[in-house]
């Protein structure tokens, strides 16, 4: 569980902060980017480890629940390096793993957080190689079911380059948000991540540049983020 001195997101979250402002902007953009389509389920991924996926996913979920009063659900689909149970201070299991194994109904894996409108499905127990669990129809059935009850479903995942499960999840959600770490994620690596998603028919909605030094994420529509001119390269 959470260390005594570790702050949960509720203690850290400042609704007047630039982070909260950027998250409101991100939500507005991803909701409207596809015009009339009802965009409700989103995957947050990145090229590699430690670029801020769980942080961005959590702040986005909290912002949408608090400021927009939307019924929000955040799901920890990073079964190798789960983090949401710590961030939201909830038990780690049961969670997504047990749902994917068919042991429990997804509605029974949903846990309350300290924010009324925000629920969480934590990762669940430990498994060394979860990739096969994301194959088949179970994941799609889980997302379909929870999507029905929530205005927004945000899925935190593993990074796309080293691990194949985010790609399988990407095909089951309305859109994908790619997180880059400012000054850290090399351009060719970001392009490789983007190409993996595009080649797998994922719908990339945008890029969030997580700027640790300024403690600020910036949102870009990926089409305008300098990727277009690189489309011909294999990078």
Residue 53 touching Mg ion (CB under 5 A): yes
Gap between the Cα atoms of 9 and 12, Å rounded: 5
CB burial string 66-78: b at 16+ within 10 A, e below: bebebbbbbbbbb
Could you give the CA distance from residue 124 to residue 91 in angstroms, rounded to a whole number?
Answer: 9
54 binds Mg ion, rule: CB under 5 A:
yes
* Residue 25's binding partner out of Mg ion, ligand ATP, none, with CB under 5 to 8 Å set by partner kind: none
If binding is defined by CB under 6 A, does position 25 make contact with ligand ATP? no
Q: Say whether 204 sits in a helix, a strand or coil.
A: strand
Helix (H, G, I), strand (E, B) or coil at 119: strand
When asked if residue 212 is in the footprint of ligand ATP (CB under 6 A), the reply is: yes
Residue 46 engages Mg ion in binding (rule: CB under 5 A): no
Q: Could you say whether residue 174 binds ligand ATP (CB under 6 A)? A: no
Could you say whether residue 55 binds ligand ATP (CB under 6 A)? Answer: yes
Strands 118-121 and 111-112: antiparallel
Q: Looking at beta carbons only, is 6 or 140 nearer to ligand ATP?
A: 6
CB of 87 to Mg ion, least distance (A): 9
> 159 touches which of Mg ion, ligand ATP, none (CB within 5 to 8 A by kind)?
ligand ATP
> Per CB under 6 A, does 49 bind ligand ATP?
yes
Give the H or E element holding residue 124.
none
Can you tell me the distance from the alpha carbon of 211 to that of 214, in angstroms, rounded to the nearest whole number? 6
Residue 24 interacting entry, from Mg ion, ligand ATP, none, C-beta within 5 to 8 Å by type: none
Q: Which residues are at the interface with Mg ion (CB under 5 A)?
A: 53-54, 83
């Amino acid at each position: 569980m959470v260390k005594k001195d570790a702050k949960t997101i509720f203690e850290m979250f400042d609704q007047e902060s630039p982070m909260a402002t950027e998250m409101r902007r991100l939500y507005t953009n991803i909701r409207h980017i596809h015009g009339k389509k009802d965009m409700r389920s989103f995957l947050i991924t990145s090229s590699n480890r430690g670029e801020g996926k769980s942080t961005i996913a959590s702040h986005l979920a909290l912002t949408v629940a608090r400021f927009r009063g939307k019924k929000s659900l955040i799901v920890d689909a990073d079964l190798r390096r789960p983090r949401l149970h710590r961030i939201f201070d909830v038990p780690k299991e049961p969670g997504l793993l047990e749902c994917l194994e068919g042991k429990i109904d997804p509605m029974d894996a949903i846990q309350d957080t300290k924010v009324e409108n925000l629920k969480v499905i934590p990762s669940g127990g430990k498994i060394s190689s979860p990739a096969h669990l994301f194959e088949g129809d179970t994941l799609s059935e889980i997302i379909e079911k929870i999507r029905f009850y929530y205005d927004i479903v945000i899925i935190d995942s593993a990074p796309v380059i080293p691990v194949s499960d985010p790609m399988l999840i990407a095909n089951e959600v309305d859109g994908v948000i790619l997180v880059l770490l400012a000054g850290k994620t090399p351009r060719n690596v970001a392009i490789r991540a983007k190409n993996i998603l595009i080649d797998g028919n994922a719908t990339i909605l945008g890029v969030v540049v997580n700027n640790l030094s300024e403690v600020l994420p910036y949102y870009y529509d990926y089409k305008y983020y300098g990727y277009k001119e690189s489309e011909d390269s294999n990078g």
